[in-house]
Amino acid sequence: MKKPLLATMLGLATLLAACGGATPAATSTPGGGATAATNACAVPVKAKCPDEASELTGAGATFPAPIYTKWVSEYNKLTGIQINYQPVGSGGGIKSLTDKTVDYGATDGPMTEAQLAAAGSPVLHIPMVMGAVVPTYNLPGVTASLKFTPDVLAGIYLEQIKKWNDPKITSLNAGVTLPDTAITTVHRSDGSGTTYVWTDYLSKVSAEWKSSVGFGNSVKWPGGVGASGNAGVAGIVKNTSGAIGYVELIYAIQNKLGYGTVQNAKGKFVEATLDSVTKAADGMTLPADLRVSITNSDNEAAWPISTFTWTLAYTEIPNKAKAIGVARFFWWSTHEGQAFAKDLGYAPLPATVVAKAEEKIRAITTGGVAALPK
């Protein structure tokens, strides 16, 4: 009796297999909920996965806009996903994320405790690339790259050093004839991550600056002229003899602006290069939330006015397709996307920072479940 029953069962199994019924379209594991679709959403990213959103929106920092534009284009070629990133400034990125009008934000300065509280639920900071801010100036007839100490930069922006031939400047630049020209300081008038980095640096190197002005995306300047964006600052500097301003290194490189060397925390006068920017994060112990300032680094080869730029996302993203889309785009950007950094004037993330970024990206959840399958 057992043999006929076994034969019948085998025959039924064969029939079901032929009709496609023997093997389910998706498999699951107890408590895991793994499916063929979610497995396809694992990283590294090879193509669009079935559960991933077809469109994403982001907004924020202008500093990383060139590389973000490149990433968006390359990611679209790989996945077909449309990403709309608006470079509205770091302040605008934080506000857009808080208002939930975008899927992710971007900033050159980490969110403050007050901003995190206003967000209403936990927000992740994920480093993307590294960059720098440099002092650019207009001194007709002076072709040498000027040297600046932290005290001199603070003194200039505190309006205490008023002429280019001040002894505090000339003593640093032997052999350079500096004119008896008034210094005009130029700063960003818009809320800017570039301003955050510049004023964060000045707050670290000058107790007077820290107590009287402080740091942030916007501050109450002691004087000078305000302008919107890197282009606005560079434009005023270019058209004002004796002017000095601060712009992002990538902007200075792309627009062939001259900029000075700055004495770092170890007393070395360093030129802003991609390598000296990367050195600013070498050996640094990163806090758990990755909201870290790397200005005035102790590394003797570091450019002292360096920074990460971060993308921002809520830890819990209710829309599953958006959560998967954001997590996979962030993963690709911090891995394969780093290959485009140097050609566009950015310093790629050190391996130790990439590892920390991975932890944050894997912390993105949807419905309490990790957006990225293991």
One-character DSSP codes across 152-189: HHHHHHTT---BTT-HHHHTTSTT----S-B-EEEEE-
Q: How high is the pLDDT of residue 34?
A: 45
Q: How high is the pLDDT of residue 3?
A: 41
Mean pLDDT across 331-355? 94
Residue 17 CB neighbours (<10 A): 11
Exposure on the CB side of residue 204, measured as CA atoms within 13 A: 19
Give the span between the Cα atoms of 112 and 343, in whole angstroms: 32
The per-residue pLDDT for range 344-354, each reduced to its tens digit, is: 889 999 899 99
Mean pLDDT across 231-239? 95
Domains annotated for the chain, with CATH where assigned, are 51-129+307-370 (3.40.190.10), 132-306 (3.40.190.10)
Better pLDDT: 209 or 282:
209
- DSSP at 219: -
Q: Among 322, 340, 262, which residue's Cα sits nearest to residue 296?
A: 262
- Residue 82 pairs in a beta bridge with 55
Give phi and psi for 64, each to the nearest 5. Answer: -90, 5
How is residue 236 written in tokens?
């005023």
Q: How high is the pLDDT of residue 82?
A: 98
The per-residue pLDDT for range 305-325, each reduced to its tens digit, is: 999 999 999 999 999 999 999
Q: How high is the pLDDT of residue 36?
A: 53
Residue 49 makes CB contacts below 8 A (sequence gap 6+) with 37, 38, 40, 41, 324, 328
3-state secondary structure of 56: strand
35 pLDDT higher than 60 = no
The pTM (predicted TM-score) of the whole model is 0.80
How is residue 203 written in tokens?
């707050």
25 pLDDT higher than 60 = no
What confidence category does residue 52 fall into, taking pLDDT thresholds of 50, 70 and 90?
very high
- Rounded CA Rg of the chain: 26
What confidence category does residue 259 fall into, taking pLDDT thresholds of 50, 70 and 90?
very high
3-state secondary structure of 287: coil
> How far apart, in Å, are the Cα atoms of 328 and each of 96, 103, 235, 315, 331?
21, 13, 39, 14, 5
Average pLDDT value for the chain = 89
Write down how long the chain is: 374
Q: How high is the pLDDT of residue 2?
A: 41
Mean pLDDT across 87-107? 95
Q: How high is the pLDDT of residue 17?
A: 38
Mean pLDDT across 167-184? 97
Which residues in 247-278 are b (16+ Cβ under 10 Å) and which e? bbbbbbbeeebbbbbbbbbeeeebebebebbb
Mean pLDDT across 44-58? 97
What is the percentage of the chain residues whose pLDDT exceeds 70? 90
What confidence category does residue 9 fall into, taking pLDDT thresholds of 50, 70 and 90?
very low
The per-residue pLDDT for range 264-307, each reduced to its tens digit, is: 999 999 999 999 998 998 878 889 999 999 999 999 999 999 99
